Amino acid sequence: MILLHETFQIVHGGLDEFEEAYWNEVAPKVRAIDGIEPLWFLRQRTGIEGEFAIALTALRSGEDLGTYTRWISGSEGAAWRARSQGLTHAFQRKVLLAAPWSPFNEWDELATALESRGNGRRIFMEDTGWPYVSVADYVDFQRREYWEPLQKWASSGAAVVKLWGFFLVAPGSGHRPEAIFLQEVMSDSALERLIGEPEVYDPDTFPGSYMVQGLTYRDQWRSRLMEAELQSKVR
């Protein structure tokens, strides 16, 4: 499985109209194609980047990516392109490949994402990092110092985030070196602490240990908080 990641920088005030157009003009049509499954529409109403949305679409294989790009750039996608171009001022399309130890490798795993339901508002956090060391070492660091401790947290019932996947940007689809964590925030209070408290980390205890050690791998990353549309609307 591969994950298509499309970012739309939206003209001020256009987010709702863009989102409605996405649900009505794109999602149902590409979902009708075998091997293409729109997953989430993540949106930010305001922030440093202004209004933007990220559409995440699961694709079973590279061949299905080819089918998608032909559909979206051809006559069938013309109405959507016209609508989208009028409501956006920038657009990026990249492809994400999950690390071998991350969820989102097998098509069968989609059921988990499709069955997940939020109770009201769901908040996702996308962390994009640009390592200045070996990409392979960075991927392994994330497994060892973040993914595995987070699984221990989850099994103890104390996790405040759910890690949906860790990805590299696929060759041929954007920037290298670049890696992305896609997470769902499970606790508003934990998020409030993350936003509101000073960044002082205990180097000997997770997650402080992760933050301190991480500086030897990268110091530039971007965190985006986005609201996810309910799956009920997706389906």
Site residues, another protein (CB under 8 A)? 2, 4, 61-63, 65-66, 69, 72-73, 78, 81-82, 85, 91-95, 97, 99-100, 130, 134-136, 139, 168, 170-177
Residues 116-123: contacts with CB under 8 Å, at least 24 apart: 116/231, 117/230, 117/231, 117/232, 118/228, 118/230, 118/231, 121/227, 122/184, 122/227, 122/228, 122/230, 123/184, 123/185, 123/188, 123/191, 123/225, 123/226, 123/227, 123/228
**Rounded Cα–Cα distance for residues 19 and 229 (Å):** 10
CB of residue 67 vs another protein: minimum separation in angstroms?
8
CB of 55 to another protein, least distance (A): 13
Q: Which is nearer to another protein, 13 or 100 (CB)?
A: 100
Least distance (Å) from another protein to the CB of residue 140?
A: 11
Per the CB < 8 A criterion, the answer to whether 94 and 5 are in contact is: yes
Bridge partner residues of 179 (DSSP): 129, 168
Comparison of 33 and 91: residue with beta carbon closer to another protein: 91
The per-residue DSSP string of 29-54 comes to HHHTSTTEEEEEEEEESSSTT-SEEE
Nearer to another protein, 98 or 163 (CB): 98
C-beta separation of 138 from 177 below 8 A: yes
Closer residue to another protein in complex, CB, 31/93? 93
Whether the CB-CB separation of 57 and 38 falls below 8 Å is answered with yes
Q: Which residue, 93 or 162, is less far from another protein as judged by CB?
A: 93
- Cα–Cα distance between 59 and 36 in angstroms, integer? 5
Least distance in Å: CB of 119 to another protein? 35
Nearer to another protein (CB atom), residue 59 or residue 226: 59
Q: Nearest approach, Cβ of 193 to another protein (angstroms)?
A: 34
Question: Shortest distance, CB of residue 73 to another protein, whole angstroms?
Answer: 4
